[in-house]
Chain A
């Protein structure tokens, strides 16, 4: 379990990083290394070069605006988890990040890295999806923005070009009147989830639902958004029997078996978690129970 030979490059600007990627078709970007290094050690990938982002200035910020929480490429999960402004602006970030791996991994692994890695079992891709987030890519032609809905292309696949680096991602903030919840079930605490769900529930001033959305972990190929607003608009959240969403959830997900769970159980679990997450989000509304 030692990686094969590779060259290590430490650019100090995004331009340099992108140039290096352009020159070496088998180069890989290195951020926190929590996904990439194990892959190298098991020799499942053989990049000729690693382009480390660690020395590039300006990638370590969390910025909050009225519309966004912007997270730079070098912001670790731990840093974002602890960010009070980010939490206040978008509680769902912390609700989800608590479930990402363990403290030691979160201290090194970056949130942007986990989005670049695009593992459908990762929590943060689904958060990018449900917040209608945007990926800020930096390439030889400069900057471009990729909406979450166009970013994830398949399991561990994105539409980022080989010679592009993600400079930051922006998670969209929800309108006033929104509560969120994140629930997952993992075999062990901190493991990739057997199933997980993020929900966002928005009500208007009269307390009636105006938007209800969910995004899933480990039960879809690509993190997408399940919009349940049609079925729920106008209802009072605490009055809803959340089993009404069961069919829509089951239609949306594509659970597969692995060595830990059967596909049937995974489907059942995702359905149950979705119900509980909505009930939780409903209960935290001003009109809710808690």
Chain B
């Protein structure tokens, strides 16, 4: 019996290649391509008065210089609004190259194409743009105040205002025995994948076709966008995501200006053109996220049970809204976590500022929502002097209440309905793991040594695996090689391993024979993309369904060859045999040969197949009416709604009594993403997620000054944690299967990130004894807070 691959901690098969420098990232491609560089706005808000390129065009090696005026037709029109929403009444998107006005530092104004990037940057330096500066709106308070506006055509800075209410919050608040109000703040951060964005476009003038390589999370999306912008038939455009060095959300946003401009220039110049984003460009022209101000008013009873939750928050969406209001919608809905709020009202304002645009970053609005909810839980516990874990437990949705419908609309426009989860069991496991009930002793021992420690907790629920669909295509070659294609993209998640595990099991073939391709529109034209912790759920189930299609076909052909009924056959290790008569068998490669009536004996496999005659009926065509040649098949998975994963984290944090330095001593995670395809990969995702969460909690922020300059646009001053800052993560799992999909799985990609700011705030608060209401927090800030509370 071959061991089932699903659930095994299979080593990631992509790692040897990636870890030994065998990866091929965007900048590794296109060595003969021209390279692009951009003149980007140095001002946060200004009118473009004049662009003088005279000095630049003479630079040796410059091929072309483009401004907005050069962009014909639809390319010169605003970039698309990807996700409209009725509440997004004042949407604005930017242009591929700024037209008349710039709205954030870093906005692309002029494109230079040259023989290489050095020369392109020399030319960029010589282009003089005159600006008439306009007042910049920086920060949520300034945006909310609205006395200056980002966009002239609107009277205020509110792009969207949305209110959702379940139950009568006013009445419930009025009747509640206790109420509390919290004012909270989360600062901006950003995905910062190690590989920035990048595009290589190859125009083939012989057949008027375009091939695009993009460091993207959605090759189908980029393909469609470029085809539309360039007025090309979809059939003449293909898009491939090569190895991608991280995405975390910023590369699901599309098309970026460069993704349109580079292909356009390649066609114009009839030459390959490439652009590789550098780190400074990434800081000032790729999206950020997180920034919110929040106000929570909560009503609760003597036991700490929620009666009313009234949340208002102000979300900084940056200068443009191409990705709609997905982030604040997720905050509004996922804030509730594992709890029943009694009654719930949430109202948000999404605000324009003269800063880089805001689109989802791993967690996508959830870290902020979790922060609001979990700070509230801790505040209730402190107020009532009840154990913090106990307050949470009293508000949990119970397993017997699943599926649980919150009565709200989720990010996918479908009901926010939890499919499964066992929150009390998760909490019990977490308390055990971290030693919750013994912490008083732990603290006393530390205090005896003059040390200050605190224990923190945070719980979340994450809607994962949103639709609308993903597909799987499987093709078995005559030597038994199994090619699997799915259209969503890979940025290091281990899809080559996890999806192969699924197909190996479903099809009954050796894992080693299964080869997975992602993100290549030549292989799978219909796909959505990798985001929202959806790849395993969507493509995992899609390839499973496709494998079942192929397996059925293989058994049909084998049954014919072996002259038995398909029901009497089993397939294992790539060999189809008659149950109980293992000698009577045929391997899947041979079946692949037989599936194709055009059978030149190119190889051994084809020769081998000649021993199997099959039934021959001269009255039937070689390919039957319902058949296709080849052992291949495809299927799509399209769910009715998201699956809801959950997790609970706890941390023990030490704060230095004198220097206020903050050290995470222990970090514990209980994680439930349903059935795990590969626990090793799930844990890797958790580790990476926690690392990014720690960044958001203790290190990372975007420091804009009042004029809208980003003061820390480099890795020297934007403090992404190193390995030395990331604690050892102690993780354990609960596997509550999702009833919604064939594999019973839920997403795991974003989980680790979501509660970290809430957990660390909770722990610091516990150590210090005063409320922590704003994250991230640095030693300098903690020290200042101590003095304020002294």
CA distance A194 to B656 in the complex (A): 15
Q: Which residue of B lies closest to A41 (CB)?
A: B278
CB distance from A101 to the nearest CB of B (A): 11
Interchain nearest-CB distance for B697 vs A (Å): 13
A3 to B699, alpha carbons, bound, how many Å?
A: 30
Give how many A-B residue pairs fall within 8 Å (CB-CB).
67
- Of the A-B pairs whose beta carbons lie under 8 Å apart in the complex, a sample of 12, sorted by A's number, is A2-B118, A3-B118, A5-B118, A42-B714, A191-B719, A260-B719, A260-B778, A260-B780, A261-B779, A264-B784, A268-B659, A273-B659
Complex CA distance for A255 and B711, rounded to whole angstroms: 20
Residues from chain B with Cβ under 8 Å of A102 in the complex: 722
Please tell me if the beta carbons of A259 and B118 are within 8 angstroms of each other in the complex: no
Shortest 10 CB-CB contacts between residues of A and residues of B: A189-B724, A265-B780, A1-B278, A261-B780, A2-B118, A259-B703, A272-B658, A2-B121, A265-B783, A188-B722
A154 at the interface (CB under 8 A from B): no
- Contact surface of B with A, Cβ cutoff 8 Å: 117-118, 121-122, 125, 278-280, 658-661, 699, 703, 711-712, 714, 717, 719, 721-722, 724-725, 778-780, 783-784
The reply to whether A2 and B117 contact each other, CB–CB distance below 8 Å, is yes
On chain A, which size bracket covers the interface?
20 to 34
A262, chain B: closest CB distance, angstroms:
5
Contact of A188 with B721 in the complex, beta carbons under 8 Å: yes
Q: Give chain B residues whose Cβ lies under 8 Å from the Cβ of A269.
A: 659, 779
B311 vs chain A, min Cβ distance (A): 31
Closest residue of chain A to B782 (Cβ to Cβ) is A265
A116 to chain B, nearest CB (A): 20
A149 at the A/B interface (Cβ < 8 Å)?
A: no
Contact pick for A265, options B125, B712, B722, B779, CB 8 Å: B779
A187 at interface by CB-CB < 8 Å: yes
Known: A3-B118, A42-B280, A265-B780. A185 touches B659 (CB 8 A): yes
Distance between Cα atoms of A177 and B755 in the complex (Å): 52
Residue A175 at the chain B interface, CB threshold 8 Å: no
Checking A1, A187, A189, A273 against B778 with a beta-carbon cut-off of 8 angstroms, the contacting residue is: A187
Indicate whether A189 sits within 8 Å of B722 (C-beta atoms), given known contacts A2-B118, A259-B703, A272-B659: yes
Q: Which residues of A contact B783 (CB under 8 A)?
A: 265, 268
Residue of A nearest to B722 (CB): A188
CB < 8 Å neighbour of A185 from B118, B121, B278, B779: B779
User: A102's closest neighbor in chain B, by CB?
Assistant: B722
Q: Which residues of A contact B714 (CB under 8 A)?
A: 42
Measured CB to CB, the nearest residue on chain A to B122 is A4
* B126 → chain A closest CB, angstroms: 11
Inside 8 A of B125's CB, which chain A residues have their CB? 4, 43
Report A174-210 CB contacts with B as 1/0, cut-off 8 Å: 0000000000010111110010000000000000000
List residues 39-91 of chain A with CB under 8 A from any CB of chain B: 42-43
Kindly state the separation between the CA atoms of A5 and B60 in the bound complex, as whole angstroms: 12
Distance in angstroms between the alpha carbons of A272 and B278 in the assembled complex: 40
The CA of A3 and the CA of B117, in the complex, are separated in Å by: 10
Chain A, 252-271, CB within 8 A of any chain B CB:
259-262, 264-266, 268-269
- Residues in chain A near residue B660, CB distance under 8 A: 265
A269 to B121, CA, bound (A): 42
Contacting pair B784 A187 (CB below 8 A): no
A5 and B116 CA atoms in complex are apart in Å by 13
In whole angstroms, what is the CA distance A272 to B657 when docked? 11
Closest to B720 in A: A188
* Residue among B121, B714, B722, B780 with max Cβ neighbours from chain A (10 Å): B780
